[in-house]
Structure 1
Amino acid sequence: MSLTEEILWQLPGDVLGGLRRSDRLLSSIREGKVPVPVVVRENQQELGAVDWDILICGGTLGILIGCALALQGLRVALIERGRLRGRDQEWNISRKELQVFLELSLLTDAELEKAIATEYNPARVGFDNGVEIWVENVLNIGIDPVYLLETLKQKFLAAGGNLFENTPFGQVVVHPDGVIVNNQYKAKLLIDAMGHFSPITQQARQGQKPDALCLVVGSCAQGFPENHTGDLILSFTPIQKQCQYFWEAFPARDGRTTYMFTYMDADPQHIGLETLFEEYLRLMPKYQSVELPQLTFQRALFGFFPSYRQSPLHTPWSRILPIGDSSGNQSPLSFGGFGAMVRHLHRLSQGIHEALQTDQLSASALALLQPYQPSLSVTWLFQKAMSVGVNQKIAPEQINELLSAVFRQMQQSGDMVLKPFLQDVVQFPALTQTLLKTSIAHPGIVAKVIPQVGLPALLNWMVHYGNLGIYSALFWLSQRLEPWEKYLPSISQYYWHRWIDTWKYGSGSDYLDYCRGVRM
């Protein structure tokens, strides 16, 4: 019996079966054998009167945007395939990122404090035989998803929202003047918040294999030595099984949560989740200085996150807007989910409201709500530098050496360089400064990266890097023109605001608002 079988069989429910089902899905995706669903159809006849302005499919994170829009006076309905309830495992985020819940009146100060289940400091960043950095106030807040979603659900209903639980999405027909879902629910706009494996997203991507994958396994357990610190990204091993393993750890209400994750391409020969879980358990004693028999496992965590270079996703249909993981609106280095949704919550709620007010619901108009962002696209090179091809031969410590060198330079440059990167935000000045300093201080390490990632990937990255600088300049210029926007017609204002958002988020300049605690 493997360690994975021994541990997972102790947990309630068919956890081992769930792990193996996830592995089978992963194999199907890698082999390109996932059938393409046909759930979206178009009909050129007028739909007529609709019941809602917006219908949201997928409630776990859809309730965030749904509640924000309902509080703005829009008619919103939400369908969820099961009960709308948060998971037991906390969502980690930084405190300042939670300010948006107050700004949008989603929570009161007291409710926000009650939603915080755990808080710790400091957190560690470190690499095998290299740099070790301690930072404060980064992903150090653990949010209780059960309380948060229940609170938002009640506010959504009180604001006039309609919730349909135990109602899975089946199909949608797009008409010139609205959409009808499951031949029953009529709205002007459908928001797809069903996640990475949304059938709408799958149909739009037409069976395209992911360009990259992040595999994650972990657990929450009791019995660890007392430890009130966390790990944001830590590596203590060389490359093994053509993977560089990274770790995260956070204090939790009912123990300590630890994750191990790794980046890779979609080659079918790479290891799967069960093998990765076995590696996680094998290395846990070294990582946390504890033997497995000392631990009481509360729950197991596992999954994989596909990433596509063609992201955020633009669907070919009018009146359908993917958001969150459905749109792929996160870098290939992050897990997406709650943090990515919160970062864009203010922008999306404002933009969707404007789109409805001005009737800008065509595919091209909605695409501006999920624009190309060079701040995300530049991270593809980093993902490639942190992963290993199935048949690629590189030195066992090459990734650790590179990351240690880069993070040492970011640390020396200060928090305004280091902290944004740890929160999935890349900015042109900080990136340029880090690259120059690393290249000068460690030319040999940097030179090894070029054959690892390949010249085509490097040239492609240079385009996004250049665009990052251009977007930074355009956002600065747009701020100078702000007094003139009030003279624009409402439809023109919609497009102007979307371009400002594009330059702002595409350059990582939204982080400056985050630091000041304000949003434009």
Structure 2
Amino acid sequence: MRAGEGGAEARELAEARERVREAGGDALLARLTHLDGARRAPAPRPGPALRAPDRGARADYDVVIAGGGLSLLLAPLLASAGLRVAVLDRARIGAAHREWNAGTAELEALSASGLLAKDEVERLVVARYVEGICRWHGGGTYPVRGALDHAIDAAGLLAAARARAEALGVALLDEHALVGHAEGPDAVALAVAEAAPGAVEAAEAAEAAPGAVGARPRALSARLLVDARGAASPYATADLVCPTVGGVLTGLAEGDGPRRIRPDVGEILATTEDVEEGRQHVWEAFPGRPGETTVYLFYYARTGDVGPGALLSLYARFFRLLPRYKEGDARLARPTFGLIPGWTRLTAAPRAPGRRVRLVGDAAARHSPLTFCGFGASVRELATTAADLARAAEDPGAPRAARDAPVHSGTGALAALMARPAGGARAGEMNALLDTAFAVLHAMGNDAYAGLLRDEMQPAEFIKFLRETAARRPEVYREVVSALPLRAIGRWGAGLARELLRGR
């Protein structure tokens, strides 16, 4: 590093931190800081202060959900089934720190689940798009219809879910964090600490060493613990991670052209440069209410390659390079961010530590490993997931009804390719591959193109997509072999073959 570069980087990080604080407040900045430091902490271990419940012990709740983001939607459904439910979160439960886009299937699932009436769902739609586009640096622009074409009022959705949960008697523990648990044969004991500055760390120390100085955590018990803490969960062991930052922006220039926003067009994926800093950065832009656009910047990475501070560093890049992506006098109205775990299906899936613990949402990483559409996957399976959890509270050995989308056996390897892009003289190869792949998708027709983005493409069609991409770009064979170990390539082929046979 040359003299002065370290100081310039420090200033850029400090400026990014301050811009997030100004737009989102101290509480949201604290959430960002927590996520940025929550990289592979050791799994909580019950100390002598937390004793596993004896056989036959009566639990305080049937289900306790740790994490009050999108998983909050499950609470009213579980309570409606007659279960005693509690939700806890380090921040205020139901506070949105992401924005969501959806398609018709997700909107229908929200009402079909019984969570909201159709007219309530309709009021949550703040924008609809004629089409979405994917655009690659140095390549073409490929429109698609019927995928991620509705912008959802995330704060309104979570507020409605919170109100419904409260009305059904769900206990909401705002600003409380799970710091330990101990599973017994019929219930699991939970150590829960107030999430005031330093309180969680003190409570964790007290659980690990009962003689430690600090407030003791509160004790609860449940028949089932649902871990919905996302990347902050110690069991979120997926092999990919997608650092994502951005927010709701105002002041972007509207009009035609790649550097302007059209209110009726969503930009699903776009790149403005080749591989830089060892990563292929990707932009998204989804218009919402008039004058507002949610813009994200993200990249794919192997989990072990993302360390503390990744989100703040990405925010610094976001603010520095936003003018390269869009024109206008951009102002950050609300920060949105996340560390989204992704699972390639080439390694073991994230696993809960016991029979009375279930992983959901980002912690389980069962969403698309390519598009990371966690909202769509969660909402489509909302009723099924709630039913699975209700059965697990009664019988933790009950099989799950929800099944992984068949196409995920193929798209995970593509995400792994993007997590290991070639640099140097080959820095442009990733965009060239993406451009070829999306040209093939577009040529296959809108049903196939939208089907891939919605996780609905069938294995036979996906194999056709791979073959036609390789026919147009034979270099893909070299790119696959250089990015993936032979064992992973074998698992990729075996997974596709297995899903192909199931579909026949």
Smaller-chain TM-score bracket = 0.7 to 0.9
SS of 1:170 mapped into structure 2: strand
Match of 1:219 in 2: 247
| Matched-pair contact (CA < 8 Å) for 1:47–1:179 | no
AA in 2 matched with 1:25:
G
Give the Cα separation in 2 of the matches to 1:355 and 1:415.
40
Q: 1:434 to 1:312 in 2, by over 3 A?
A: same
**C-alpha deviation, 1:8, in angstroms:** 4.8
Q: 1:345 aligns with which of 353, 372, 382?
A: 382
Match of 1:398 in 2: 429
Bigger relative CO (Cα 8 Å, ≥ 6 apart): 2
Q: 1:288 aligns with which of 319, 322, 326?
A: 326
AA in 2 matched with 1:102:
S
Q: 1:317 aligns with which of 351, 354, 363?
A: 354
Q: 1:220 to 1:151 in 2, by over 3 A?
A: closer
SS of 2:426 mapped into structure 1: coil
AA in 2 matched with 1:329:
R
**C-alpha deviation, 1:57, in angstroms:** 2.1
| Residue 193 of structure 1 pairs with residue 212 of structure 2 | no
**C-alpha deviation, 1:197, in angstroms:** 1.2
Give the Cα separation in 2 of the matches to 1:6 and 1:81.
26
**C-alpha deviation, 1:16, in angstroms:** 11
| Residue 237 of structure 1 pairs with residue 276 of structure 2 | no
SS of 2:232 mapped into structure 1: coil
How do 1:278-427 residues align onto structure 2 when only pairs under 5 Å count? 278-290=316-328, 294-308=329-343, 310=347, 312-335=349-372, 337-356=374-393, 359-362=394-397, 365=398, 368=400, 375-388=407-420, 395-427=426-458
**C-alpha deviations, 1:175-223, integer Å up to 9, x for none?**
2122233364333222222222125x26xx6xxxx53222222233221
| Matched-pair contact (CA < 8 Å) for 1:89–1:144 | no
| Matched-pair contact (CA < 8 Å) for 1:123–1:136 | yes
Match of 2:301 in 1: 264
> What's the C-alpha RMSD, in Å, of the aligned pairs?
3.2
Give the Cα separation in 1 of the matches to 2:170 and 2:483.
51
**C-alpha deviation, 1:414, in angstroms:** 1.7
Give the Cα separation in 2 of the matches to 1:404 and 1:6.
35
Give the Cα separation in 2 of the matches to 1:311 and 1:414.
34
**C-alpha deviation, 1:88, in angstroms:** 6.4
Give the Cα separation in 2 of the matches to 1:344 and 1:118.
23
SS of 1:295 mapped into structure 2: strand
**C-alpha deviations, 1:28-71, integer Å up to 9, x for none?**
x4xx7x34422597747314333433222222223211111222
**C-alpha deviation, 1:157, in angstroms:** 3.1
Q: 1:39 to 1:421 in 2, by over 3 A?
A: farther
| Matched-pair contact (CA < 8 Å) for 1:246–1:262 | yes
**C-alpha deviation, 1:313, in angstroms:** 2.5
Q: 1:97 aligns with which of 93, 106, 121?
A: 106
Q: 1:218 to 1:69 in 2, by over 3 A?
A: same
AA in 1 matched with 2:356:
R
How do 1:33-72 residues align onto structure 2 when only pairs under 5 Å count? 34-39=41-46, 43=52, 45-72=54-81
Give the Cα separation in 2 of the matches to 1:251 and 1:432.
33
**C-alpha deviation, 1:312, in angstroms:** 4.1
Give the Cα separation in 2 of the matches to 1:7 and 1:58.
26
| Matched-pair contact (CA < 8 Å) for 1:70–1:76 | yes
Give the Cα separation in 2 of the matches to 1:471 and 1:438.
24
**C-alpha deviation, 1:413, in angstroms:** 1.4
Give the Cα separation in 2 of the matches to 1:9 and 1:353.
43
| Matched-pair contact (CA < 8 Å) for 1:178–1:189 | yes
The normalised TM-score by structure 1 is 0.77
| Residue 462 of structure 1 pairs with residue 490 of structure 2 | no
| Matched-pair contact (CA < 8 Å) for 1:63–1:149 | yes
Q: 1:163 to 1:220 in 2, by over 3 A?
A: closer
Unpaired segments of 5 or more residues in structure 2? Answer: 1-7, 192-217, 255-261
Match of 1:487 in 2: none
Match of 2:4 in 1: none
Give the Cα separation in 2 of the matches to 1:146 and 1:269.
29
Give the Cα separation in 2 of the matches to 1:19 and 1:387.
25
Unpaired segments of 5 or more residues in structure 1? Answer: 474-520
Number of paired residues? Answer: 452
SS of 2:178 mapped into structure 1: coil
Give the Cα separation in 2 of the matches to 1:85 and 1:53.
21
| Matched-pair contact (CA < 8 Å) for 1:230–1:249 | yes
The normalised TM-score by structure 2 is 0.79
How do 1:92-131 residues align onto structure 2 when only pairs under 5 Å count? 92-131=101-140
Match of 1:436 in 2: 467
| Matched-pair contact (CA < 8 Å) for 1:142–1:252 | yes
Give the Cα separation in 2 of the matches to 1:136 and 1:338.
19
AA in 1 matched with 2:380:
R
**Alignment identity in percent?**
26
AA in 1 matched with 2:143:
W
AA in 2 matched with 1:265:
R
Give the Cα separation in 1 of the matches to 2:490 and 2:425.
21
**C-alpha deviations, 1:391-415, integer Å up to 9, x for none?**
8666222111111111111112122
Match of 1:476 in 2: none
Give the Cα separation in 2 of the matches to 1:64 and 1:379.
27
Q: 1:146 aligns with which of 139, 142, 155?
A: 155
Match of 2:211 in 1: none
